[in-house]
Amino acid sequence: MTRAAGLLAALLVLLAAAVASVALGARPVPLDHVWAALTAYDASPDAVAVRDLRLPRTLLGIAVGAALGVAGCLMQALTRNPLAEPGILGVNAGAAAAVVTATSLLGLTAPGAYVWFALAGAGASFALVYLLGSGGRAGASPARLAVAGTAVAAALTGYTSAIVLFDSSAFDRFRFWAVGALADRGAGALAAIGPFLAAGLLIAATLGPGLNAVALGDDQGRALGARPALIRGGAAAAAVPLSAGGTAAAGPIGFVGLAVPHAARAFTGPDERWVMAYSALLAPALLLTADVAGRLLGRPGELETGVVTALVGAPLFIVIVRRMRVARL
C-alpha cells in the first residue's frame, strides 16, 4: 500500500469514527435520522441529541485529536525522544495549574471560561521550560528541554495539589476537567481553541523537511542546509498551541500524542511529513472511537474518554518500550 493510499484509508477510518460518534451512545440514533437531523430542522429527541450534543462533541474530538496527534509528532522530533508526548515539556502541568487557579480564586466553572486560562498556563509553562532548557552556550538541546520540562511539571503539579487539597469545591470542578473528556465541554471551547489549532497546524505543515534533516543530528542537519535552532523553535511554536489548545478544551487526555505517531511510522517510515499527516487523521479517529466505546460500555452513563484512552494506551506504551529495548539489543 502506498503512503497516499494509506492516507486515504486513514481518512475513511476517521469518517467512520465520526459517523459512529453521532449515531451511537446511550440512545442509538438510526443513520436516516442522523441525516435528517443534519439536513432539516426538527425538534425531535433524536435531532436534538445529534445536533445539540453529539455533533459539537464530534467536531471537538476531531479538532482535539488532530492537535494531540501532530503535537506528539513534534514533541518526539523536538526532543529526539520516542516516548515524548505533549506533557513532557510542562504543557499539561501548566494548563492544570491555570485551571485550578481559575476555579479556586475566580470561581469559574464553564469550560468556555477557563479554557483561556488553560491556554495561558500551558504557554507560560512551556516558555519557562524553553528558557531554562536553552540557557548557557549549549542552547536548547533535547536532553536539557526534557529535564527542564520534568522539573517545571513537578513544581506545578505540587502547586496544583496544594490548591485542591485546601479547596474542596475547586477540587470537584478541577477533577471534571482533569479526567479528560469530550462531553459537556460546550461549543465555546471549540470556538476558543480553533484559531490556536489552525495556527499550530499551519506551522507544523511547513516543518517536515527540516525535521527530517535535524533527525539525523545537528551536524548532519546543518550539512543538509537546515538550521537546527530555527527548526526546534518552529516545532515549539507549533506544538505549544496544539497541545495547549487540545488540553485546555478536553483536559489532559493521555497516550494519544504518544501512541499514534508510532502507529503512523509503521505505515510511513521515519518521514515526518507523512507521520504528521497520518497522525492528524488517526489520532482523532482513536479519540472518537474511545469516546464512543466509553458511551457504550458505561450505559446508561458513560466512561470518560481519558479513562478509555488510558486503558488502551497503557498496553501500547508497554509494547513500544519493549520494542525499543529489543531494537537496542
CATH class of the domain at 3-328: mainly alpha
Choose among 129, 126, 108: nearest CA to 117: 108
Q: Is the pLDDT of residue 326 over 60?
A: no
Q: Concatenate the DSSP letters of all residues of 124-171 into one string.
A: HHHHHHHHHHT-STT-S-HHHHHHHHHHHHHHHHHHHHHHHHH-HHHH
- The model's pTM is 0.86
- Per cent of the chain over pLDDT 70 is 89
Angle at 56 between CA 187 and CA 311, to 5 degrees: 110
Residue 328: band (very low, low, confident or very high) from pLDDT cuts 50, 70, 90: very low
Residue range 223-271, pLDDT digits in tens: 766 777 788 788 888 888 888 888 888 888 878 888 888 888 888 888 8
What pLDDT sits at residue 116?
Answer: 80
Residue range 37-94, pLDDT digits in tens: 888 777 788 788 888 888 989 999 999 999 999 998 988 887 777 777 777 778 888 8
| Mean pLDDT of all residues belonging to the chain | 82
Task: Considering only the C-alpha atoms of the chain, give the largest distance between any 2 of them, rounded to a whole number of Å.
Answer: 65
Residue 321: count of CB within 10 angstroms of its CB:
12
Q: Where are the domains of the chain?
A: 3-328
The conformational region for residue 271 under phi > 0 = left, psi -120 to 50 = alpha, else beta, is beta
- CA gap 240, 232 in Å, rounded: 12
Q: Concatenate the DSSP letters of all residues of 173-232 into one string.
A: HHHHHHT--STT--HHHHHHHHHHHHHHHHHHHT-HHHHHHHTT-HHHHHHTT--HHHHH
Residue range 15-38, pLDDT digits in tens: 999 999 999 887 788 888 888 888
Count H helices, E strands: the chain?
15, 0
